[in-house]
């Protein structure tokens, strides 16, 4: 039975068991629920990367730009030089971008016990708390809800997420009481309003996510009910778009109106994609869940680039070697995919998070976390390819970009990943939902449990988990099997175990004792995949496990914006070629400059276009085959990850 049928049946069963009366809200338990912030901490190479983030932009954003220094503080600031548009007021970009930073920074601070960074975040939280406790709005001189800006409510959603992250760690009641006050009259300010899910205004709705999460963490039920009141006002659009999607399937192709390629703003799409699925948890509206799933399915089928993101020249622009993705999307897409994983339990969403996390994200952030691109791209050849667009920041690595959204938002990347490595499962157990080295301390079935996950994943395919409960305790352990592995191997205390995979997870239900060790192995082979660009040109790409590989074009010294000249890179690959895997030891301190796994493959010389675009047709036969060595795309500043095709 495939997943969709299984989900539909189980959803139908749940709904018929407790069909909500119109307007009354319900609580459908999600498949997975995040652990408290700080219960999962990074280890090994992930900890090294987190520490570099703290030494880089995340730890020092307030020194990079006054907007980060003053956003959410008690000061009147305007978003100068950030691409602010006519009608924008000070509540817009400044608060959005500083909010992103604080949200990522507070999570990172708790994950690596960085007191200095935590102090910076708390200074901003205290300012907001003091204002709200004194009966004022959270932003100086402004009623956020009446600001009149086109997306004035949106920054509060970002700050709300950050406040809930801190609340999840401390349990400090002032945070919850403040959020209840901030959202006290939310439906009143949105009465009768419809916000498109694909335009900027759609991001106003993200406050619904915060209200639902506040309710889940112990806030007043009115938060949930008011959130659903506002979301129900959007049900016409959800229904209409889902109808387009289903008509498209009926005639054998996806209707592009569903996500409106020419008009869909990618960050807005990626943020809003999850909302109907969250709404499903509290209303039982099955069509809302189907809407969110359809979004991910359509993006995957029609728009997905090999490094795990759609193009986003702000808006969707189709697949291509120089189709750029605004860096914000690596974070926003992953956050929404994690939400779908939470709601459905379908491991496919975790595979998508890992693909974006290990490929697109590090290709756009410098290994030392001190510079980043605004627009990253599958191929990057020189300063003109890809070139600059009229809107948005640049494809160069810079300490900050204008607008500053990506500079702030990239701080969320690592902590959002790490904190969801392990989650609580609906059946009272624990789930390994994403992979990477970590140390987890949590409580299961009333017992304190420590899990030490040791792995060099995704550079290696083995994972070892040592469990240390305070006393023997019985609970189910769910172990995700990545979609690219068809024959996972499981051993417990060195005894091989039979493996059954359901919905992408192995479930082991037994009594766990201190010292039990679970070993997983995900054997797989490198894959040469084919696809077609928006302009019709065919391409190949090479993956191994969750990693995408690229031909590196070396830089001049350490200058990430200057490629060496005269390097051959115009190649085509045959999907049938054998690929040789070469491994090297992991470095002592991890950095994406390291390439602990490389692939060797035969490539044929191909003629790319004058604009360096891919050959429009497959190359017949391997012309002058030469052996090329590919490295993870995250280890490259200039590269080719979309090659021509040899047939």
Residue 405 beta carbon to Zn ion: minimum distance, rounded to whole angstroms: 3
Q: Which residue, 410 or 506, is less far from Zn ion as judged by CB?
A: 410
Write a three-state SS string for 421-482.
CEEEECCCCEEECCCCCEEEEEEECCEEEEEEEEECCCCCCEEEEEEEECCCEEEEEEEECC
CB burial of residue 222 (10 Å; 0-12, 13-18, 19+): middle
Element (H, E) at 165: helix 154-170
Considering only CA atoms, give the Rg of the chain: 24
How far apart are alpha carbons 295 and 280 in whole angstroms?
15
Only one residue has tokens 């990057």, namely: 380
Instruction: Confirm if 206 and 273 have CB atoms less than 8 A apart.
Output: no
**In terms of CB distance, is 293 or 332 closer to Zn ion?**
332
* Shortest Å, Cβ 411 to Zn ion: 12
Q: Nearest approach, Cβ of 68 to Zn ion (angstroms)?
A: 14
Cβ 97 to Zn ion shortest distance, Å: 9
For the CB of residue 108, give the shortest distance to Zn ion in the complex, in Å: 18
Span of 30-38, 402-410, 491-499, 585-593 interacting with Zn ion by CB under 5 A: 402-410
Nearest residue (CB) to Zn ion, 347 versus 373: 373
367 and 552 Cβ atoms separated by less than 8 Å: no
- In the block, tokens 């992250």 appear at 165
Nearer to Zn ion, 370 or 454 (CB): 370
Tell me if 388 sits within 8 A of 311, measured CB to CB. no
Q: Which residues are CB-contacts of 12 (< 8 A; sequence separation ≥ 6)?
A: 286
- Residue nearer to Zn ion on the CB measure, 277 or 328: 328
Question: CB of 395: closest distance to Zn ion in angstroms?
Answer: 13
In the bound state with Zn ion, the residue whose beta carbon lies nearer, of 405 and 542, is 405
Binding-residue total with Zn ion (CB under 5 A): 4
DSSP strand E in 224-348: where? Answer: 325-326
Q: Tell me whether residue 292 or residue 325 sits nearer to Zn ion (CB atom).
A: 325
Task: Compute the least distance from the CB of residue 96 to Zn ion, in Å.
Answer: 10
CA–CA gap between residue 54 and residue 328 (Å, rounded) = 19
CB of 353 to Zn ion, least distance (A): 18
Query: Which residue lies nearer to Zn ion by CB, 258 or 397?
Result: 397
* Minimum CB distance to Zn ion, residue 312 (Å): 9
Q: Note whether 406 binds Zn ion by CB under 5 A.
A: yes
x-marked contacts with Zn ion along 194-233 as a string, rule CB under 5 A: ----------------------------------------
Q: Minimum distance from CB of 413 to Zn ion (Å)? A: 12
Beta pairing class for 473-480 and 430-432: parallel
| Alpha-carbon torsion (34, 39, 44, 48), positive or negative | positive
Q: Is 594 in the site for Zn ion (CB under 5 A)?
A: no
Q: 3-state SS string over 473-539?
A: EEEEEEEECCCCCCCCEEEECCEEECCCEECCEEEEEEEECCCEEEEEECCCCCEEEEEECCCCCEE
Q: Which is nearer to Zn ion, 328 or 479 (CB)?
A: 328
148: its two tokens: 């009149």
Site string for Zn ion, 467-506 (x = CB under 5 A): ----------------------------------------
Q: Which one of residues 238, 405, 537, 599 is an interface residue with Zn ion (CB under 5 A)? A: 405
CA torsion angle for 22, 23, 26, 28 (degrees, to 10)?
A: 70
Neighbouring-strand partners of residue 495: 492
Smallest gap from residue 606 Cβ to Zn ion (A):
34
Please choose, out of 82-90, 230-238, 399-407, 433-441, the segment that lies near Zn ion by the rule CB under 5 A. Answer: 399-407
Q: Which stretch binds Zn ion (CB under 5 A): 158-166, 181-189, 352-360, 401-409?
A: 401-409
Q: What is the DSSP letter of 261?
A: T
Given the complex with Zn ion, which of 110 and 315 has the nearer CB atom? 315
Helix (H, G, I), strand (E, B) or coil at 129: helix
Q: Report the nearest approach of Zn ion to the CB of residue 417 (Å).
A: 18
Nearer to Zn ion, 44 or 392 (CB): 392
Return the number of the residue (312 or 431) whose C-beta is nearest Zn ion: 312
Residues 302-341 that bind Zn ion (CB under 5 A): 326, 328
Footprint of Zn ion on this chain (CB under 5 A)?
326, 328, 405-406
């Amino acid at each position: 039975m495939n997943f969709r049928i299984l989900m539909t049946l189980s959803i139908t069963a749940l709904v018929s068991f407790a069909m909500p009366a119109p307007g009354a809200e319900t609580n459908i338990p999600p498949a997975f629920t995040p652990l408290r912030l700080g219960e999962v901490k990074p280890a090994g190479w992930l900890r090294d990367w987190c520490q570099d983030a703290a030494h880089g932009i995340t730890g020092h954003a307030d020194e990079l730009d006054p907007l980060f220094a003053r956003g959410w503080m008690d000061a009147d600031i305007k978003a100068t030089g950030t691409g602010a548009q006519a009608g924008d007021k000070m509540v817009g970009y400044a608060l959005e971008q500083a909010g992103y930073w604080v949200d990522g920074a507070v999570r990172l601070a708790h994950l690596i016990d960085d007191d200095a960074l935590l102090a910076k975040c708390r200074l901003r939280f205290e300012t907001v708390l003091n204002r709200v406790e004194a009966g004022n709005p959270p932003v100086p001189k402004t009623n956020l809800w009446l600001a009149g800006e086109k997306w004035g409510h949106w920054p509060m959603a970002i700050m709300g997420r950050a406040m809930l992250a801190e609340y999840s760690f401390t349990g400090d009641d002032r945070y919850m009481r403040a959020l209840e006050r901030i959202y006290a009259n939310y439906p009143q300010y949105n009465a009768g309003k419809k916000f498109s899910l694909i335009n900027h205004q759609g991001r106003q709705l993200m406050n619904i996510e915060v209200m639902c999460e506040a309710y889940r963490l112990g806030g007043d039920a009115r938060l949930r009910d008011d959130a659903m009141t506002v979301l129900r006002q959007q049900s016409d659009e959800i229904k209409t778009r889902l109808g387009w999607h289903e008509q498209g399937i009926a005639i054998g192709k996806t209707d592009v109106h569903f996500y409106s390629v020419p008009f869909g703003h990618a960050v807005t799409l990626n943020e809003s994609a999850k909302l109907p699925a969250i709404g499903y948890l509290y209303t039982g509206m099955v069509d809302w869940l189907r809407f969110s799933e359809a979004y991910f399915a359509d993006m995957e089928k029609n728009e997905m680039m090999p490094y795990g993101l759609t193009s986003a020249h702000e808006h969707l622009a189709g697949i291509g070697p120089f189709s750029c993705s605004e860096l914000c999307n690596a974070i926003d897409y992953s956050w929404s995919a994690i939400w779908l994983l939470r709601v459905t339990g379908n491991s496919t969403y975790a595979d998508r998070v890992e693909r974006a996390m290990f490929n697109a994200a590090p290709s756009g952030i410098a290994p030392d976390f001190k510079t980043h691109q605004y627009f990253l791209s599958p191929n990057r050849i020189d300063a003109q390819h890809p070139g600059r667009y009229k809107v948005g920041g640049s494809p160069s690595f810079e300490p900050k970009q204008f607008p500053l959204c990506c500079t702030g938002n990239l701080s969320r990347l690592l902590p959002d990943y790490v904190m969801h490595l392990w989650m609580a499962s609906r059946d009272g157990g624990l789930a390994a939902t994403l992979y990477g080295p970590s140390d987890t301390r949590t409580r299961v079935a009333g017992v304190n449990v420590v899990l030490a996950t040791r792995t060099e994943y995704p550079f290696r395919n083995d994972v070892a988990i040592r469990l240390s409960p305070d006393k023997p305790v019985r609970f189910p352990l769910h172990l995700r099997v990545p979609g690219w592995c068809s024959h996972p191997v499981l051993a417990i205390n060195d005894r091989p175990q039979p493996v059954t995979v359901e919905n992408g997870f192995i479930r082991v239900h037994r009594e766990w004792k201190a010292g039990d060790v679970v070993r997983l192995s995900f054997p797989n082979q490198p894959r040469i995949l084919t696809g077609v660009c928006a302009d019709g040109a065919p391409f190949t790409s090479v993956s191994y496990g969750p990693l995408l590989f690229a031909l590196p074009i070396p830089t001049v010294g350490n200058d990430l914006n200057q490629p060496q000249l005269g390097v051959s890179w115009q190649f085509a690959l045959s999907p049938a070629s054998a690929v040789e895997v070469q491994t090297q030891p992991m470095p002592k301190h991890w950095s994406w400059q390291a390439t602990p796994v490389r692939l060797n493959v035969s490539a044929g010389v191909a003629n790319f276009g004058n604009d360096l675009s891919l050959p429009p047709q497959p190359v017949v036969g391997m012309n002058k085959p030469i052996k090329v060595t590919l490295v993870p795309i995250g280890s490259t500043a200039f590269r080719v990850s979309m090659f021509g095709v040899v047939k």
